[in-house]
Homo-oligomer: A and B are copies of this chain.
């Protein structure tokens, strides 16, 4: 590999000059610049990243910390991050943390040895210890899908999303609306709570009393959704609509409803949450959560912080969008219409 000295010799200049044309900004005589560039081309010269990082104290690398959980959600966030970084000269290194328990351990290594210029933490609400460490390391950081006033943060408005979903169901005429969600999410404990608040707000606005038995725990899988659906339909007064708090759960709800002989949406309306790709094909009515946008916005905030540390860390909230498809209609007893095609029930 050719080094900067080889280029300098080849071009008949000092290494400092080569470095200056490399940097771009500095003042170099046009003729000199051309000679140097020609020499670089001739030698196939590539600046050494490590040497550069060492003397610049900048790695041109961003670190993103994500839970290992290989869920669609994190993949989408990463996509958003990559998209936003496409135009820049930043590389990204991804660090996954296994379980919440190992957080302390994982974060001990954050920005380890100046491996990164900044860090994007996904779906982890930092504790005081982590905040102190980031501060001490002077490592610019942003939070994605989690928030703290001390750090630039970008979140989704889950209260608003669940509220809008519930409102939509209410608007259709449903009064017996159930919600199936995680009782507690290990990474972002607040989210399920927020959704349930949105759900209750919408009910309250419509003057509908919330029922404890309609708020049911469901694991984040088709199986979890199916179990919740079965329990719900076994109730003396089963709901006429179920808001599954992930599209994955909604698939299970659809399955279980089918097995129990229910016609969707005529006998039971179902809404998902997230709008994953499959949902379009299934005709699932759902809330689109701007996940990719989370990643993009996170990069935006980090780049800004890198350029100039903000006096007060900006807090961004992204709104969800209602996607009307075919799994939710007026309740059957209120004269529900069949959609043009029978709704599909996976099994």
Contacts and interface: CB of A to CB of B under 8 A. Distances in A.
Interface of A: 1, 46-54, 59, 61, 70, 75, 79, 82, 86, 91-96, 109, 112-115, 137, 222, 251, 255, 258, 277-278, 281-283, 326, 341, 344-347
A49 B113 contact: yes
Number of this chain's copies in the complex? 2
A82 B50 CA distance: 23
Contacts of A82: 94, 96
A278 B282 CA distance: 10
A113 B344 contact: no
A114 B282 CA distance: 47
B137 A1 contact: yes
A141 to B, nearest CB: 16
A94 B75 CA distance: 14
A78 B92 CA distance: 14
B344 A281 contact: no
Nearest to A339: B347
A126 B164 CA distance: 51
A166 B32 CA distance: 66
Contacts of A91: 93, 95, 115
Nearest to A278: B278
Contacts of A347: 281, 283, 326, 341, 344
A13 to B, nearest CB: 20
9 contacts: A46-B109, A49-B115, A50-B50, A50-B53, A50-B114, A91-B95, A278-B278, A326-B347, A344-B346
